[in-house]
Amino acid sequence: MDLLLLEKALLGLFAAVTLAIVMSKLRGKHFKLPPGPLPVPVFGNWLQVGDDLNHRNLTALAKRFGDILLLRMGVRNLVVVSNPELAREVLHAQGVEFGSRTRNVVFDIFTGKGQDMVFTVYGDHWRKMRRIMTVPFFTNKVVQQNRQGWEEEARHVVEDVKRDPKAATQGVVLRRRLQLMMYNNMYRIMFNYRFQGMDDPLFNKLRAANGERSRLAQSFEYNYGDFIPILRPFLRGYLKKCQELKDGRLKLFDDHFVAAKKKTMDQLGSKMELKCAIDHILDAERRGEINYDNVLYIVENINVAAIETTLWSIEWGVAELVNHPEIQRKLRQELDTVLGPGVPITEPDLQKLPYLQAVIKETLRLRMAIPLLVPHMNLHDAKLGGFDIPAESKILVNAWWLANNPAHWKNPEEFRPERFLEEEAKVEANGNDFRYLPFGVGRRSCPGIILALPILGITLGSLVQSFELLPPPGANKVDTTEKGGQFSLHILKHSTIVCKPRA
């Protein structure tokens, strides 16, 4: 059986070599392609540039080949965009042409081949899913309905840390408690449900399942099967593990949260009062706008996209405040002056706290959670920057480099919130400046910005009000070594933080 598989693989490689040579010659006649390293048959540029196409490696390639470059990763074309003008073209001016999403063998499993909102192709299904999700998740009304819950969860974090005898001397891994806070924030919106504590069995099941999903999806281990389809049989074990995890997660969501709501909706129909997000989504399913699988994949998206990305940004913000005590002191002084010492921060206060807003903006600039944004794709042949972009190319906008290019920013390697009060005072996180796109912009931008920014402000503000945040004993700083995935960026080591209560 192994010999037969090997024979087929070799025959496939031979056919792929022949096809690659023919296509290369044909394309040379018809397409003006962006510059890039010279590809070799079958593998393209994969052996030259490797798997880890993170924001820093792609920045190095952009410095060699220009602000638009093409990498051929096996059978896939990957176009990297690295300046604000080209980003505007991809995300705004040609937002329809480049509005689809590329998927891969693993994301096809986790999203049911695009039955969700985040990774579906641009078209009627995406528009329908976006509309259905907007009312229960992404409006100012949702913020006002839920902001007291976010404030309450932040206070619970402060109280729990104060009760921990080690926190003020040896320190605690603050991320663990912040993760519970983020689950409670989002599950209260989705299901009007709150986990009782760090030892809650259901919380730990969900946390473990979502963590494994993130690990499998963000890994580079499966790229060879994605780049060279003939090698996919060798991924059989990996993909089986993904399928089993996907099935288990959807069953977990269904058994504990969705099925009971669905039963009530079926019984009451239009008479049911829509109290939380899942009620609105199931109401859309009842009316025939989406199917039940779509409902579960929406829950899947929120578990990954809303919880983890905001948690990463909070963790980066805490780390930068620990490593820059003068900035932490300046922020604390603003909170004490504007609100008064010991007065808990609330969501309406955020507009009165410009330095806190600047700290958040600077965190999102220097430590962008999704530095390459979620990849885009053109369904048909397109033009970009004077070059031809073949259909179904994967388009990566290096948003981190847009926000960290010294040609566009003063001393971008420094963590300096003051820049957003001085030379960059007009720049906002909503994409009003194409040098700064932490949430993207345009049709496929992240709608979660409306939730993420107030949660970031309430959480960081509450921690700085309540504690002096310090590195662990014997250390001058916390480790901010980066760990990237297919398109994510978070801290490699979850640091121990000393949380010294203020008098």
CATH of the domain at 150: 1.10.630.10
Name which residue leads in pLDDT, 79 or 14. Answer: 79
Instruction: Give the separation between CA 438 and CA 445, rounded to whole angstroms.
Output: 9
Q: Find all residues with CB under 8 Å of 381, minimum gap 6, and list them.
A: 388, 389, 390, 391
Instruction: Give the separation between CA 272 and CA 265, rounded to whole angstroms.
Output: 6
* pLDDT score for 238: 97
Q: Is the pLDDT score of 391 beyond 80? A: yes
Instruction: Give the separation between CA 20 and CA 43, rounded to whole angstroms.
Output: 9
446 is in an annotated binding site: yes
- 26 shares its domain with 61: no
- 92 shares its domain with 21: no
* pLDDT score for 25: 47
Q: Give the ranges where 89-235 is alpha helix by DSSP (H).
A: 105-110, 124-137, 140-163, 174-191, 201-218, 223-227
Q: Which of 21-30, 199-208, 339-348, 364-373 has the lowest mean pLDDT?
A: 21-30
Going by pLDDT thresholds of 50, 70 and 90, the confidence category of residue 269 is: confident
Q: Is the pLDDT score of 403 beyond 50? A: yes
Q: Is the pLDDT score of 101 beyond 80? A: yes
**pLDDT, tens only, 117-133:** 998 989 999 999 999 99
- 442 shares its domain with 483: yes
Q: Provide the domain limits for residue 354.
A: 31-501
**Two structure tokens written together for 33:** 């392609």
- As a whole-number percent, the residues of the chain with pLDDT over 70 amount to 94
Q: Is the pLDDT score of 352 beyond 50? A: yes
* pLDDT score for 158: 98
The mean of the pLDDT values for the chain is 93
* pLDDT score for 270: 83
- In the predicted model, what is the mean pLDDT of residues 23-30? 52
Going by pLDDT thresholds of 50, 70 and 90, the confidence category of residue 486 is: confident
Instruction: Give the separation between CA 335 and CA 356, rounded to whole angstroms.
Output: 8
> pTM value?
0.92
- 18 shares its domain with 152: no
Instruction: Give the separation between CA 52 and CA 57, rounded to whole angstroms.
Output: 8
Q: Find all residues with CB under 8 Å of 168, minimum gap 6, and list them.
A: 498, 499, 500, 501
Q: Is the pLDDT score of 271 beyond 90? A: no
- 358 shares its domain with 471: yes
Q: Which of 31-40, 60-69, 264-273, 456-465 has the lowest mean pLDDT?
A: 264-273
Q: Whose structure tokens read 């999903």?
A: 213
- 8 shares its domain with 59: no
- 169 shares its domain with 266: yes
Instruction: Give the separation between CA 258 and CA 204, rounded to whole angstroms.
Output: 18
CB of 285 within 8 A of CB of 297? no
Q: Find all residues with CB under 8 Å of 289, minimum gap 6, and list them.
A: 128, 132
Q: For residue 352, what is the DSSP state? A: G
- 109 shares its domain with 225: yes
How many domains, the chain?
2
* pLDDT score for 26: 42
- In the predicted model, what is the mean pLDDT of residues 367-379? 95
* pLDDT score for 342: 87
Q: Is the pLDDT score of 22 beyond 60? A: no
Count of positions (residues) in the chain: 503
* pLDDT score for 12: 55
State the sign of the Cα–Cα–Cα–Cα dihedral 359, 438, 136, 282: negative
- In the predicted model, what is the mean pLDDT of residues 343-347? 97
Q: Give the chain's end-to-end CA distance (angstroms, integer).
A: 72
Phi, psi of 463 (to 5 degrees): -65, -45
Instruction: Give the separation between CA 262 and CA 278, rounded to whole angstroms.
Output: 9
Q: For residue 406, how far is the Cα from the chain centroid?
A: 25
Q: Quick count: other Cβ atoms within 10 Å of Cβ 189?
A: 22
Q: Is the pLDDT score of 305 beyond 80? A: yes
CB of 382 within 8 A of CB of 98? yes
- 352 shares its domain with 478: yes
- 116 shares its domain with 226: yes
- In the predicted model, what is the mean pLDDT of residues 452-471? 98
CB of 104 within 8 A of CB of 258? no
- In the predicted model, what is the mean pLDDT of residues 450-454? 97
- 26 shares its domain with 160: no
- In the predicted model, what is the mean pLDDT of residues 162-184? 97
Going by pLDDT thresholds of 50, 70 and 90, the confidence category of residue 385 is: very high
- 4 shares its domain with 22: yes
* pLDDT score for 1: 42
Query: How do 76-81 and 394-397 pair as beta strands?
Result: parallel
